[in-house]
Chain A
Amino acid sequence: MSQSMIELRRLHRNFGRTRAVNDISFEVPRGTVLGYVGPNGAGKTTSMRILATLDVPTYGDAFVDGFSVINDPDRVRRRLGFMPDYFGTYSDVNCWEYLDFFARAYGLVGPERSRAIRDVMAFTRLDGLRDKPIRGLSKGMKQRLCLGRSMLHDPSVLIMDEPAAGLDPRARIELREMIRALSARGKTILISSHILTELAEMCDQVAIIELGRLIAIGTVQHIMRQRSSHREVKVRSLDPLESLMNWLAGKEREESVFDLKCDGEVVRFSHRLSAEDEAGILRQMILDGIRISEFAGHVTSLEEVFLSVTQGEVQ
């Protein structure tokens, strides 16, 4: 039995001529939070809907906990919570009735159902809004209610399509904490978002897609290292800058570093070395008596990765 909770296998979905999903394959191990990013129209929603058994692939298959979304949608549905990019609410229904209805629809009965609703309301901090009509909820509250709905049957896999869209900073932070808490409970989460700084903080890995194709998958650092050929390092020293510059100039002549430049208080250089050799340079500096107060590889942000990886084409 495979360990991955989500697997896309050569997934294709065409809408007429549009290839919304064009041969995407990847796996998500149990307990991982995978960020799903890509420009508008990349095919995120389409592939997530296929995973949620709301659509069928033109070719290929997808699996949730080992069950095919085409042939065993009922088994997939028992294990999967889906939070779409719309709310889907009813008129004349309050929060509790809304959750109660979906809990019933998931086959929860009696005390089991009351417990599930109570837990979900506590987790999403909706306790105070029990009798509030849904039509009167703010966007953030609705979003929490929808998260609550998708968690009622305690699914092991959660698929969220842009849950952070339209939330204020505090609500976003709360959402991030909820997702972290869910991940700590061992849930496997696939989450799409355009707010990349948020996403980077809550995801273990990211998958970047464009024009229906998977461009990169892995941790942000891993993708960056794969993509760019060099790495930039920033050094600060307690000694006068000249000694540090001279020392590094020697290395530049050896051609192990390049792009050496003095930038006010700090010295920057680039190299194509392994992480091992980078550590070697630092060690040698210290052994040669240079008092280093800071030595930092430039941390690439998800935004930079995103921009360097995608082309910005639309179909």
Chain B
Amino acid sequence: MAGDASTIGDGKAGSGIWERSEEWLERASEYLNPLLVKEARQALKSNQFASTFILLMTLAWGWSFLGVSLSEFQLTLGPDGRSMLFGYFMILVVAMFVIVPFSAFRSLAAEREDGTFELISITTLSARQIVFGKLGSAVVQMAVYLSALAPCIAFTSLLQGVDIYLISFLLVITSTISLIFSSFGLMFATITRARHWQSALSVLLILGLGFATLIWLLTALNLFISGSGFFGGGVLEYEVFWTSVLNTVTVGFSFIALFVFAAAGQLSFASDNRATALRCVMAVQNVIGLGWFIYYWLATADWDVLCAGVVTLGLYWSVAGAFMTAESPQLSPRVLRQLPQSLLGRAFFSWFNPGSGTGYSFAMANMGVAVVFVFAMLGVSSVLGMREFGLPPFPSGGADHLVITCVMVWAYLAAYLGIGRLILALFRQFIYVSLPLAFVVYCALHVVGNIVPYMLWVGADRYSYSTILAPSWIFTVYDAIDGKLSGDLAVVLVSMSGAVLFLVNFILAAPEVGYEKMAVPDRVLKDEIELHPELQPRAAGSPWD
């Protein structure tokens, strides 16, 4: 039966190198995502793909020709290398930032419009595999475009004014961002199935991608112009290079994971657990984000970096929290089967379960980690001389504004998410709360909370911060960072309302922790044993179960 494995290629024993490699490819495809294999086959036949590829090549060679003929024989002199490289870079960025993410979006959206998505979804492929398959196709497409332009880019590295660090820096960042956009495009495609909404989203996505391309090209141009000073010319600091690459890659990939899991959650079956995987990614992102701010704080010894970190994480959790508090507190029997039962397991894992109350507590706990870290560092540095440990010393200008900002950010998060959650809980009594509805509710909440106090403030002819602005987090946090809030009543008001709303919501969330694990039906247990005879049912007794 050994020959059977290769019958895919009709069983003809390959003799030529072409047949041989084809056979090898077929065998390798056994381990690849089915969607990736299908899409690779489609791409090889489709005109669209071939024409895009040829267009890219033509543009790149055209640019090379133009560049060479303009600079005549001065190829190795002057800073021409940089302008050559920028030309290729522009072509590459348009392909990677617009074409790749948009085709990822269209490819998933089209499956849903044509009904083929339904056919795939009832196979044994999981929603996550489907999204990864689509993302894999985007990666292949990226690789093809990169390799089309690689010879040209390699060529510029022979010219003056261009160094290998600049090239690799730009390529790594561009690829990472392209992948982020592609996963975002996939998530975008799962938002709605209605055709008119899909076309509205297409336009939105194209505009966004075009804008991002422009911004990135301008940034890159800036780097190119100052390039010889920043990256080339011996001034290149290896640390700056590596940290910025590492920074982009870690943060970037955490967002890719976030978008992929969000897309998979949207595509998964209604009774599936759509929350836990996403929350794990969010917790990791919290740690990565905080980690980078700590790194830059240590590197610069500037406490305001931590302050910026807390505010950034506050913004992150206000968005993530808005979506989490929109989840229904009802758990499906399918989810209930997998709940932890022990006290320890419940106390720790319950916050990862779907539900608005657990989501609220989860966001507050993660935000709390960042705030507590800043307080701990302030406390330690005020008692110990930090220099001995290589840590930044206690801020010379006092830590008031730092403490106030942290407290304000946490309190505003508790208050806004708390009010939003209560409103959504009220809505849920009468109608189905969808994600778009939650989005609208939160937008309204933030607009009212910020604009109304501002109008009152302007109406009262004030010129400096006044307690009227207390409900508005934008103005209050802004002034808190500036240190203008010390001793203002707003600090007390905001902290108090934050604390009260947190307590109310936390207590209301209690029933969501009290769910009892549901027994798995006998029929399912039996099937499980038939499917995986090697897996013995795990003996209970771990304190986490």
Q: In the bound complex, how far is the Cα of B126 from the Cα of A107, in angstroms?
A: 11
- Chain B 19-39 against A: per-residue CB contact (8 Å), 1 yes, 0 no? 000000000001000110110
- Contact residues, A248-303 vs B (CB, 8 A): none
Assess whether B122 is interfacial by the CB under 8 Å rule: yes
Question: Whole-angstrom distance between the alpha carbons of A66 and B523 in the complex?
Answer: 7
Q: A53-83 vs B: 1/0 string, CB under 8 Å?
A: 1101000000000111011111101101010
A136 CB within 8 Å of chain B: no
Interface bits A103-134 vs B (CB < 8 Å: 1, else 0): 01111011101100000000000000000000
A102 touches B123 (CB 8 A): yes
User: Chain B's nearest CB lies how many Å from the CB of A82?
Assistant: 6
Taken together as a complex, chains A and B put the C-alpha atoms of A89 and B113 apart, in Å, by: 11
When distances are taken between beta carbons in the complex, the residues of chain B under 8 Å from A54 are 118, 121-122
B-side interface size class: 35 or more
A199: CB under 8 A from chain B?
no
B271 at the interface (CB under 8 A from A): yes
Contact B45 A71 (CB under 8 A): no
Residues in B with CB closer than 8 Å to A93 are 38, 41-42
Residue numbers of A with Cβ under 8 A of B are 1, 52-54, 56, 66-68, 70-75, 77-78, 80, 82, 84, 86-93, 97, 100-102, 104-107, 109-111, 113-114, 149, 153
Determine which of A74, A88, A110, A153 lies in contact with B119 in the assembled complex, contact meaning CB atoms within 8 Å. Answer: A88
Q: Is the CB of B114 within 8 A of A88?
A: yes
Does the CB pair B124–A78 fall under 8 Å?
yes
B527 contacts chain A at the CB level, 8 A cutoff: yes
* B37/A104 in contact, CB under 8 A: yes
Residue B69 at the chain A interface, CB threshold 8 Å: no
Cα separation A78 to B57 with both chains bound (whole Å)? 46
B124 touching A106 by the CB < 8 A rule?
yes
Verify A110–B4 contact, CB threshold 8 A.
yes
Question: Given the known A-B contacts A75-B524, A97-B41, are A149 and B334 also in contact in the complex, defined by CB atoms under 8 Å?
Answer: no
> Which partner residue on chain B sits nearest A86 by CB separation?
B115
Query: What's the Cα separation between A82 and B115 when bound, in Å?
Result: 13
Asked whether B37 lies within 8 Å of A101 as measured between CB atoms, the reply is yes
- B515–chain A nearest beta-carbon distance, Å: 15
Check A111 against B46 for contact (C-beta < 8 Å): no
Contacts of B523 in A (CB 8 A): 1, 66-67
Do B527 and A75 touch (CB < 8 A)?
A: yes
Minimum CB distance partner of A67 in chain B: B523
**How far apart sit A70 and B527, CA to CA, in the bound complex (Å)?**
17
Chain B neighbourhood of A88, CB < 8 A: 114-116, 118-119
Q: Which of B443-479 contact A (CB under 8 A)?
A: none
Residues of A contacting B7 in the complex (Cβ-Cβ under 8 angstroms): 111, 114
Minimum CB–CB distance for B376 against chain A, Å: 45
Contact A92 B45 (CB under 8 A): yes
Q: Most chain-A Cβ atoms within 10 A of its Cβ — which of B46, B118, B122?
A: B122
Given contacts A72-B334, A92-B42, A102-B119, 4 further A-B contacts (CB under 8 A): A73-B269, A84-B119, A92-B46, A101-B38
Contact A91 B46 (CB under 8 A): yes
Indicate if B431 sits at the interface (CB-CB under 8 A). Answer: no
Residues of A within 8 A of B124 (CB): 74, 77-78, 105-107, 153
Known: A105-B124, A106-B124. A56 touches B524 (CB 8 A): no
Task: List B314-362 residues whose CB lies under 8 Å from chain A.
Answer: 332-334, 337
Shortest Cβ distance from A103 into B: residue: B34
Alpha-carbon separation in the docked complex, A110 to B7 (Å): 9
A25 and B100 CA atoms in complex are apart in Å by 49
Inter-chain CA distance A111–B35, complex, in Å, is 20
B120 — which chain A residues lie within 8 A by C-beta?
Answer: 105
- Interchain CB contact under 8 A, A90 and B116: yes
